[in-house]
Chain A
Amino acid sequence: MEQERCERCGRSLGAAREGTHYCERCIHSIEQLGSRGLWMATIAMLLLLVALAAGMALLAPSLGSEITGTGRLVIGLVVTILPALLWLALFYQQDRLEPEPRGFVISLFILGFLMGGAVAQPLLRSVFEVQRWAEPGSLMNLLSATLLNGLITASLTYFAVRFTVFPTDEFDERIDGIVYGTAAALGLGVAANLAYLLENGTISLGVGALTIIVTSLVYATFGAIVGYFLGLIKPGGGPDWLAPAGVIVAAVLHGLYEWLSSRLGESGAGLSYNPWPGLIVTALFSLATFGLVFMLIRNAYRGMTLPVVEESAA
């Protein structure tokens, strides 16, 4: 009878099963060893992101109209890519057992960006012209954000992962789906943020920085959801319908996020615009979805954990 062995220490885990598994001891020791460093790294990342947002908010008014088209593009690229890379690093750290090759993760991030720039954004802005007919905060906004923004983004994330790393041997843990899904979705998020920044000009650099950071996180979490469901199929051995289910869950959450942020971002009294209520609520929404992803990651680890079986008994 074929034996399942712990991927890390080689202890016997009993009869062979589908997917990669670890013994309880290895999982426990990694959780114990990594937890403190991980928390420190997470806090450091969050502080960096807050500093970036604060820096942009302070710098934007003084930059004013001095920024030329090229300058705006360069600043836009930095403001959109930096938070995405920081979030990517944060999610990448969660894959502690067998970190995925960085080349694969970065390639998926770039692929996501290219798909966002070449497919998602032109579809949304030029073909469907969502900005022209979906009034912010309306029911139509919720529908369009779910059906178009949500489903297009989630489907592209699915296809990006499915036709690149999914068939390879590297994709052998449930958490791999989360890491790769996050990378692809963050690329799509960068394209969306860049389009937003270029459309709104330099005025939005201040208020826009926080929006961009939150949007990056939101894309990352929705990508993680799509990836988690992919992980349930391949290493997890789940049924095929989990693939569209993951896409639907991510799309619905995406739609809710877009609707919520635009509804709360509406102008208050008169022509005044106060972005903070919307940003605070969407940041809370993002943290909730971030928490959900952490829960999925823990769940993924639990799914890979098996008790050690004595060789003689096995």
Chain B
Amino acid sequence: MTTQTVGLSQQPKPLSRMADYMVLGLLILALVAGYFLRQSNLFATRDVSVQGVTFAVPRDSVMVSNDPFELTTPEGLTVRIMRDSAPATGVADLGALTGSRALKQSALLPMYQTLEADTAEIAGQPVGVLDYAYVDDQSSFYTSGLEVQHGREVLIGQGDQVIIISVEGPDSASDQLEDFWPKLLNSLRFNTAPAGGS
């Protein structure tokens, strides 16, 4: 309300920009701190050791089963680790290894297709890498349409066996798969030296 008296009561303290800058500075500090909190928490990982290999998964991943190992990431991707017998050609020929794996999977999964088969070197160890897709037969065509699953696998030769680490999810989660896959490969360590190297 306006004052009726004269003098200082009609001249309140001049508005200070310093107070605004201090509050603005506080807000900016909080936003920056919040950004770092978000980044460090949202992308926080924990190590998982299974079948002689260790790798990082998102911290809030949920374990589905221990044998065979399966967990679900917060983004809805499924990580599995399996052990399979090596093909007759052995584990040294990575091309044959990936081909054999693709053939086996095509017999098990509807409309299985290999999108890309490649080799790579992880922690000094040559491995086979498969990029694949198939139709999820659990999805209902009548209610939601058929769902395509998109996944990637890394095949690690170990003596007469192959360790397979797969990450897959619905095709709609392809971006999350693209994000997660290189992180998983970079975090991969072998606890015992794989015997299938060249």
- A and B assemble together: yes
What residues of chain A have their CB less than 8 Å away from a CB belonging to chain B?
A: 2-5, 7, 10, 16-21, 98, 123, 128-130, 132-134, 140, 143-144, 147-148, 151-152, 155, 158-159, 162, 166-167, 169-173, 233-235, 237, 240-244, 247-248, 251
How near does chain B come to A252, taking the closest CB pair, in angstroms? 12
Considering the chains assembled together, what is the distance between the CA atoms of A10 and B27 in angstroms? 43
Known: A144-B34, A167-B15, A237-B13. A16 touches B5 (CB 8 A): yes
Question: Chain B interface secondary structure, helix, strand, loop or mixed?
Answer: helix
Report the interface size for chain B: residues with CB under 8 A from the other chain. Answer: 34
Does B16 sit within 8 A of A, measured CB to CB? Answer: yes
14 A-B pairs (CB sep. < 8 Å) = A4-B7, A4-B9, A7-B4, A16-B5, A18-B8, A129-B38, A143-B37, A144-B34, A147-B34, A152-B30, A155-B27, A155-B30, A240-B19, A244-B22
- 4 smallest beta-carbon distances between A and B, as pairs: A16-B7, A2-B7, A243-B19, A133-B41
Considering the chains assembled together, what is the distance between the CA atoms of A10 and B22 in angstroms? 38
Considering the chains assembled together, what is the distance between the CA atoms of A128 and B41 in angstroms? 11
Does B182 sit within 8 A of A, measured CB to CB? Answer: no
Considering the chains assembled together, what is the distance between the CA atoms of A248 and B19 in angstroms? 13
Name the A residues within 8 Å of B37 (CB-CB): 133, 140, 143-144, 147
Name the A residues within 8 Å of B48 (CB-CB): none
Known: A20-B9, A233-B13, A240-B16. A155 touches B4 (CB 8 A): no
Considering the chains assembled together, what is the distance between the CA atoms of A256 and B34 in angstroms? 17
How near does chain A come to B60, taking the closest CB pair, in angstroms? 8
* Contact of A235 with B8 in the complex, beta carbons under 8 Å: no
- Can you name 18 extra interface pairs (CB under 8 A) apart from A18-B9, A169-B1, A248-B26? A3-B6, A5-B5, A17-B8, A18-B12, A128-B34, A128-B35, A128-B38, A130-B38, A140-B37, A143-B37, A172-B1, A172-B2, A234-B12, A237-B13, A240-B16, A241-B19, A243-B20, A244-B26
The digit string for B85-96, where 1 denotes a CB below 8 A from any CB of A, is 000000000000
Considering the chains assembled together, what is the distance between the CA atoms of A153 and B33 in angstroms? 16
Q: Which residue of A lies closest to B34 (CB)?
A: A148
Known: A129-B38, A133-B38, A134-B41. A172 touches B26 (CB 8 A): no
How near does chain A come to B173, taking the closest CB pair, in angstroms? 15
Name the B residues within 8 Å of A134 (CB-CB): 41
Task: Please tell me which one of the listed residues A7, A152, A240 contacts residue B3 in the complex, with CB atoms under 8 A apart.
Answer: A7
Known: A128-B35, A148-B34, A240-B19. A4 touches B5 (CB 8 A): yes
Name the A residues within 8 Å of B34 (CB-CB): 128, 144, 147-148
Q: Which residue of B lies closest to A21 (CB)?
A: B9
Task: Please tell me which one of the listed residues A17, A21, A243 contacts residue B22 in the complex, with CB atoms under 8 A apart.
Answer: A243
Considering the chains assembled together, what is the distance between the CA atoms of A134 and B150 in angstroms? 30
Q: Which residue of B lies closest to A243 (CB)?
A: B19
Known: A98-B1, A128-B34, A147-B30. A19 touches B9 (CB 8 A): yes
Considering the chains assembled together, what is the distance between the CA atoms of A7 and B6 in angstroms? 11
Q: Which residue of B lies closest to A173 (CB)?
A: B1
What residues of chain B have their CB less than 8 Å away from a CB belonging to chain A?
A: 1-9, 11-13, 15-16, 18-20, 22-27, 30-31, 33-35, 37-38, 41-42, 44, 74
* Contact of A169 with B2 in the complex, beta carbons under 8 Å: yes
* Contact of B23 with A19 in the complex, beta carbons under 8 Å: no
* Contact of A155 with B26 in the complex, beta carbons under 8 Å: yes
* Contact of A132 with B9 in the complex, beta carbons under 8 Å: no
Name the A residues within 8 Å of B27 (CB-CB): 151-152, 155
Name the A residues within 8 Å of B7 (CB-CB): 2-4, 16
Q: Which residue of A lies closest to B41 (CB)?
A: A133
Name the B residues within 8 Å of A123 (CB-CB): 31
Task: Please tell me which one of the listed residues B19, B24, B25, B44 contacts residue A233 in the complex, with CB atoms under 8 A apart.
Answer: B19
Q: Indicate the member of A3, A21, A98, A243 with the most B CB atoms within 10 Å.
A: A243
Name the B residues within 8 Å of A237 (CB-CB): 12-13
How near does chain A come to B61, taking the closest CB pair, in angstroms? 14
How near does chain A come to B190, taking the closest CB pair, in angstroms? 31
Known: A144-B34, A240-B18. A158 touches B23 (CB 8 A): yes
* Contact of B8 with A16 in the complex, beta carbons under 8 Å: yes
Considering the chains assembled together, what is the distance between the CA atoms of A132 and B41 in angstroms? 9
